[in-house]
Structure 1
Amino acid sequence: MTCVKKILAVLDADRQQQKALNRALHLARISGAHVTFMISIYDFSYEMTTMLAADERNTMRDSLINDRNVWINDLLEDYNTRDINFDVKVLWHNRPFEAIIETAMEGDYDIIVKATHEREGLAALLFTPTDWHLLRKAPCKVLLVKEHDWPEHGKILAAIHTTGEHDHHRSLNRQVTEAAINFASCLQSEVHLVNAFPGAPITIAAEIPEFDTSNYRETIEENHKIALAEHAMPYHIPPTQQHVLEGLPEQVIPELADELDAELVVLGTIGRTGFSAALLGNTAEHVIESINCDLLAVKPEGFVSPIKL
């Protein structure tokens, strides 16, 4: 089974270690996919050089783009690209995430591969980084790469939301599971499913003394186990690889991924916009900051990127 056919790998212009490049080559080698290695560059000072004519500014800009093309090709000489079908793309764009998304749409790519890095301080909360934009707005799967290796016979953890009553929840569950199975087939790994369920509200015991929180928890847990088992049945995922755990998804998923030493976490992500998106983020964004392995974000069926070509 083929994982992907076209990979868009986003390189780090200012880092020596190219995690996305390594991962894209690994994925291309096992899937036979074509890879585009891309980078987006921009220098505001060139646009503001009013003493130069427009054609002179364009010439300077083209020179920078050519330099980066040479840099990428020199970089690739240090990697084993034998039998890999690839090309190189350098774009001049003042918003890197838009350059990535526009390229993904134009080329009809199956997946975007990008390294993600730890961020510190208030800036991480207030200013949405490129990978957050990709999680919300990219038209295809997004693989955010961390340090964890991809060993054969590893484990892939797919996060499932079993309580969704709407068709789009069930559809996203199917897409997440199928993506996990496709990657497991390529990586010779086994798929585990995880479903988080909420505990009884803390205040309910105080407000309703006769409320049996223990029975409530057992009932909720059993309902989730039944729902997860029903979801797993068509995919022949055994009960030993089905995990129903109490807690918030952004807590449960990283803890189980660490316990399993998972190489990849797969989950669904739904685009968000506006001020709430900039401050809060969704489950995928919280999870990627807490796990030590790669995250594959899957969009809902029929998702249309808000970025226009």
Structure 2
Amino acid sequence: MTLIEVIPEDMLNRSLAPKGPSADELRDAVMAERRTWIESLIAPHADRVDCQVDVLVGITFIEVIRAVLRDGHDLVIKTAEDPEWSRLLFGSDDMHLMRKCPCPVWLMKPDDKPNYQRIVAAVDVDVLRTVPDEQVLNDGILDLASSLALSDFAELHLVHAWDAPTAGFVGMWSNDPDTTERHIIEGEHSRHQVAMHRMTFRLSERIGEEAYEYLSPRVHLPMGSARKQIPQLVEKLKADLVVMGTVARTGIPGFIIGNTAESVISQLQCSVLALKPPGFVSPVTLQ
């Protein structure tokens, strides 16, 4: 495990008194002080956890992502910024990390519980065709969510929001629009239900039948927009953590997480564990 603190460059470039330390001396002193402080925090756990301390200078999200690229870290855990001037839980560095960090990013509320009670895994399913990258991402979401739920003895809720966009147009061609609309909605719901069953079956095969039966994940299939239905369900359940994917182009640098994912995240008031799709390339580089 590596503990990282990033000191803003402008903090170390302020003008000094004529007879004070040089800029280099100030930088070395500040970095040494922060390193000593972090080491004092981990000292009680040193016999159980192998920790490395890195004190870096620059912009937080850029330096953290560069550390991930340089050292091959599998997970970034960070306390959410929770800016006082905003109703949003997640600040600028948080959103940049979720957009651009190649590995999963776990943003925790400052007052998070030591153990989660309810975990929500949000997935997206294309019922018309098999999308390999989507399947890998969904399986990754469920694997992480189920692992955390098992370790914390927490409830696991799986949510997939779906819609039947053609149902609203049946009045243009059907002689019995109410019945036709109902059949369309029922058929669409059934297809998404089958897709979720396949996903949970794969999960049970990966974690084992006994663990799956112990978890007994609750599956939620709300009809409507994901950006509306997922935050509402999370609030209703009083969930402690949402595990979800971010949507980005793969194989080329991507700056923007999907509009739906960003809209959902901006409405949440709980911790978030965000995963990237396979093939994601961070726009941040080592240089």
**Residue 137 of structure 2 aligns to a residue in which SS?**
helix
For 1:138, the aligned partner's letter is C
What does residue 37 of structure 2 align with?
71
What does residue 227 of structure 1 align with?
195
The reply to whether residue 197 of structure 1 matches residue 174 of structure 2 is no
The Cα of 1:217 is off from its aligned counterpart by 2.0
In structure 1, distance between residues paired with 2:270 and 2:14: 42
Q: Is the contact made by 2:246 and 2:258 (CA closer than 8 Å) also made in structure 1?
A: no
What does residue 79 of structure 2 align with?
115
**Residue 281 of structure 2 aligns to a residue in which SS?**
coil
In structure 1, distance between residues paired with 2:12 and 2:31: 13
Choose which of 32, 56, 72 in structure 2 pairs with 1:91. 56
What does residue 289 of structure 1 align with?
266
Q: Is the contact made by 1:112 and 1:141 (CA closer than 8 Å) also made in structure 2?
A: yes
In structure 1, distance between residues paired with 2:71 and 2:3: 12
The reply to whether residue 58 of structure 1 matches residue 21 of structure 2 is no
In structure 1, distance between residues paired with 2:172 and 2:16: 69
Describe the shift of the 1:45–1:57 C-alpha distance in structure 2 as closer, same or farther (beyond 3 A).
same
Q: Is the contact made by 1:269 and 1:282 (CA closer than 8 Å) also made in structure 2?
A: no
The Cα of 1:267 is off from its aligned counterpart by 0.9
Q: Is the contact made by 2:102 and 2:282 (CA closer than 8 Å) also made in structure 1?
A: yes
Q: Is the contact made by 1:150 and 1:263 (CA closer than 8 Å) also made in structure 2?
A: no
The Cα of 1:131 is off from its aligned counterpart by 1.2
How many aligned residue pairs are there? 263
The Cα of 1:184 is off from its aligned counterpart by 2.4
For 1:156, the aligned partner's letter is I
What does residue 213 of structure 1 align with?
181
Q: Is the contact made by 1:196 and 1:247 (CA closer than 8 Å) also made in structure 2?
A: yes
For 2:152, the aligned partner's letter is L
Q: Is the contact made by 1:135 and 1:284 (CA closer than 8 Å) also made in structure 2?
A: no
Describe the shift of the 1:142–1:220 C-alpha distance in structure 2 as closer, same or farther (beyond 3 A).
same
Choose which of 105, 108, 118 in structure 2 pairs with 1:155. 118
For 2:200, the aligned partner's letter is A
> RMSD of the alignment, in Å?
3.4
**Residue 38 of structure 2 aligns to a residue in which SS?**
helix
User: What is the correspondence of 1:101-112 to structure 2 with a 5 Å cutoff?
Assistant: 101-112=65-76
Q: Is the contact made by 1:151 and 1:263 (CA closer than 8 Å) also made in structure 2?
A: no
What does residue 185 of structure 1 align with?
150
What does residue 23 of structure 1 align with?
none
Cα deviations by residue, 1:89-108 (Å, 9 ceiling, x for unpaired): 21011x21110101122222
Choose which of 129, 143, 148 in structure 1 pairs with 2:106. 143
For 1:188, the aligned partner's letter is F
In structure 2, distance between residues paired with 1:120 and 1:67: 27
- The alignment's TM-score, normalised by the length of structure 2, stands at 0.76
The reply to whether residue 250 of structure 1 matches residue 215 of structure 2 is no
Cα deviations by residue, 1:202-250 (Å, 9 ceiling, x for unpaired): 9636755754433322221121111111111122357861111112222
Structure 1: 5+ residue stretches without partners: 1-34
Q: Is the contact made by 1:254 and 1:291 (CA closer than 8 Å) also made in structure 2?
A: yes
Cα deviations by residue, 1:143-162 (Å, 9 ceiling, x for unpaired): 0112442536x332211212
In structure 2, distance between residues paired with 1:190 and 1:203: 36
The Cα of 1:138 is off from its aligned counterpart by 0.8
The Cα of 1:59 is off from its aligned counterpart by 2.5
In structure 1, distance between residues paired with 2:84 and 2:29: 34
Describe the shift of the 1:222–1:203 C-alpha distance in structure 2 as closer, same or farther (beyond 3 A).
closer
For 1:184, the aligned partner's letter is A
Structure 2: 5+ residue stretches without partners: 205-211
The reply to whether residue 40 of structure 1 matches residue 6 of structure 2 is yes
What does residue 282 of structure 2 align with?
305
In structure 2, distance between residues paired with 1:243 and 1:265: 14
Q: Is the contact made by 1:195 and 1:244 (CA closer than 8 Å) also made in structure 2?
A: yes
Describe the shift of the 1:240–1:300 C-alpha distance in structure 2 as closer, same or farther (beyond 3 A).
closer
Q: Is the contact made by 1:162 and 1:227 (CA closer than 8 Å) also made in structure 2?
A: yes
